[in-house]
Amino acid sequence: MHRRARRRARAAGAAAVEPAPPGFADHAAKDTLIVPLEEVVVAGTRVPEVARDVPGGLSVVPRARFENASGLSLKEALGFVPGVFVQSRAGNQDVRITIRGFGARGNGDRSNAGNLRGIRVMTDGIPVTEPDGRTSLDLVDLGTTDRVEISRSNASAVYGNASGGVVNLRTNLDFDTPYLVARSRGGSYGFHREQVMTGFAAGRARGTFSLTNSTLDGWRDHSAASATLAQMRFAVPLDDDTRLGLLLDGASNLTRFPGALTAAEAAADPAQADPVYVSRNDRRRNRIGRIATTLDRRVGTAQNVALTLYTQPMVLERSERNRYRDFTRYQLGGSATWDWTRALAPGLTSRFSLGGDDQFQDGAILFYTLGPGGSRGTGLVANKREAANSAGGFVQGELRWNERWSLRLGGRYDNLWYIAQDHIDPTLDATKRFTRWTPKASLAWLGGEHTVYTSLGGGVEAPAFNEIDPPPPFDATTSLNPFLEPMHSTSVEVGARGVIRPAPPLGRVGYDIALYWIDVRNDLVPYDGGAYFLTAGKSRRRGLELGLGWDPLERLALTGSLTLSENEYLEYVNDLGDFSGRQVAGLPRAWVNAAAELNVAPGLTANVDVESVGGYDADDANGTRTLPYTLLGATLAWVPPRPVSNLRAFISGRNLTDERYAASVFINGVSDRFFEPGLPRHWVAGVEVALRR
């Protein structure tokens, strides 16, 4: 395997790696070199382009950053990305993710349905996020992921609803030779995870298949989780200009929820669960499938066409809020984009892109009384249909002159509608429609190894279906909250990224810096523990993001990220009070990540990392606040050289100082139950064996 395949990015967002099949890296190669973003092609703007040229906050996280970890949580991949705040709620796949404040509300009693809001998650370009903006991570697997692309800038102008940030996990299908990888992970609190993955070839076609099973007893009471996931990717060139792709996913998982605690309960015994959650056996069982096809065609030398079509059936069962809930859903979606590059004059090039997409979800919902142990009771209390459709189209034009300046203008129109039908009481039937035009403009200077940009754009986010339930007494007259409107925002951003090359003894420094100002109207806010939602009139988010990576010595790599943010309600009055001038709940003002990695000996690497997070408010009144915390971790990885097979082994300790902290909060919790305690000291170890032909 070529040595460049193992070069590692050291600044999240300022570097990336060339794709390499899992387990086949030449570990004698230098892991500490920074690879400029210009070597990576991403699709953060809906059309492929080199990452260096994207005029916005963009991070590319290579597999090397998260391969020596449990593989359960997206936090392991996103933890060092500036502007991205990630917390692992109970140590399983459920994480809390915010990007520049978007997604902060994704917790509470309704989070069993999927705890991400306002952030679009995709795997290999196919949405995991549902049409109404909810995201459950059942089909997300770091074990098959070669790299993660994160657009930190609001991407609503090309992706539409709930795109305050975009996370796209990519699988490598450009490997040279077939391979077989077997991985095993184990650790504290009954954790174990097994995975078998193969990369196969059929002529010029390439494919991967993975089967993963994981089980976690959980460190808190009533927090056990298990998951089984099968994934296949296949790509075949139909000719020199056309590539057909196939994606198949199937997942089955079971997750139990311990609920939030009061401050006193968390201090006395953070491992305990909310006794109400235990008595109801609150849990989620999801069975999900997905089939997708993609077609990419180059027309001549200047045009590209991309088509996708997918379907996703789901069977979801939950014990939640004193009801047994049974959901049967199916989802259909597709997209089309066309991209045309044309030389207008010497040194002047234009690029024109347009596209559209549609995502439809429909299904039946049955609510029953709750029987003993959280079983399904005999009383049917709700029989509904819930349908959502998200449709939109975008257009974007770019002028580039002298390969040094880039001007982009674009916009998107979105049409999102909901249908709720009550088969028990048809007088509650309701529909709701949200429409929005979202513009965006940017100017960038492309200076080879440096890019400087500024952008102005909008964002749109409709309330998710399970956030639009009407509170009493309106639930007696309609199925949809008549007062909620879409959240829309205006973002101004200035940033730069690149590589600095000082004198040779000092190595290279990768950097990524961004300043943003976001004005938001109709910020969606949970209350009554997340049972219902209302809107804040105006809020403002301002922030500074900095990512750095430095290899001062051949064997030493230093990485760091800093985020400073100010998030304030400007106008926010409701029946509960006047919260104007208060801090937005759920968002810290500062957090820092730093790591040092040392190649101790050939094949032996030691890593030490630290995460420090400031306290943040748990309620709109700013009367309850989490404590700041600092977590220390360390990892030791061993990769002995082998001529035919690769062996990888590692051991990692997290929260080594055993600090108590809040991993997440139920915003505006009920009965002072706000806090989800974070994991104490814990360990994970793993071994991997890879064979190639």
| CA–CA distance, 18 with 484 (Å, rounded to integer) | 45
The pLDDT value recorded for residue 162 is 85
- pLDDT for res 438: 94
Amino acid at 316: L
Amino acid at position 193, single letter: R
Contacts of 16-19 with CB under 8 Å at 24 or more apart are: 16/40, 16/51, 16/60, 16/61, 16/62, 16/147, 17/62, 17/63, 17/64, 17/147, 19/146, 19/147, 19/170, 19/172, 19/174, 19/175
Whole-number Å distance between alpha carbons of 411 and 354: 10
Q: Which residue has the tokens 């030791």?
A: 636
Give me the torsion for CA of 97, 667, 518, 409, rounded to 10°.
Answer: 50
Domains and CATH numbers, the chain: 3-692 (2.40.170.20)
Angular region, 236: left φ>0, alpha ψ -120 to 50, beta rest: beta
Neighbour tally for 580: CB within 10 Å = 15
- Burial class from Cβ neighbours inside 10 Å (0-12, 13-18, 19+) for residue 72 reads buried
Is 693 exposed, middle or buried, given 0-12, 13-18 or 19+ CB atoms closer than 10 A?
exposed
Q: What is the pLDDT of residue 61?
A: 92
Checking phi first, is residue 7 left (phi over 0); if not, alpha (psi -120 to 50) or beta? beta
Please tell me the predicted confidence (pLDDT) of residue 31.
34
CA distances 203 to 19, 234, 237, 499, Å, are: 20, 12, 10, 39
What distance lies between CA 600 and its chain's CA centroid? 33
Q: Cα-flanking dihedrals φ and ψ of residue 154, to 5°?
A: -60, 125
Q: According to the model, what pLDDT value does residue 531 have?
A: 72
**Residue 469 vs residues 85, 207, 259, 381, 509: alpha-carbon distances, Å:** 28, 43, 21, 16, 50
Classified as helix, coil or strand, 671 is coil
Q: Edge-to-edge, what's the strand order for the sheet holding 166-170?
A: 58-62, 147-151, 166-170, 120-123, 126-127
State residue 13's pLDDT score. Answer: 33
pLDDT at residue 125 in the model:
93
H/E/C letters for each residue in 70-134? CCCCCHHHHCCCCCEEEEECCCCCCEEEEECCECCCCCCCCHHHCCECCCEEEECCEECCCCCCC
The percent of residues in the chain predicted with pLDDT above 90, rounded, is 73
Query: Which residues does 623 contact at the CB level (< 8 Å), separation at least 6?
Result: none
Q: pLDDT under 70 in the chain at which residues?
A: 1-39, 43-45, 106-115, 529-530, 643-645
Q: Which pLDDT does position 11 carry in this prediction?
A: 34
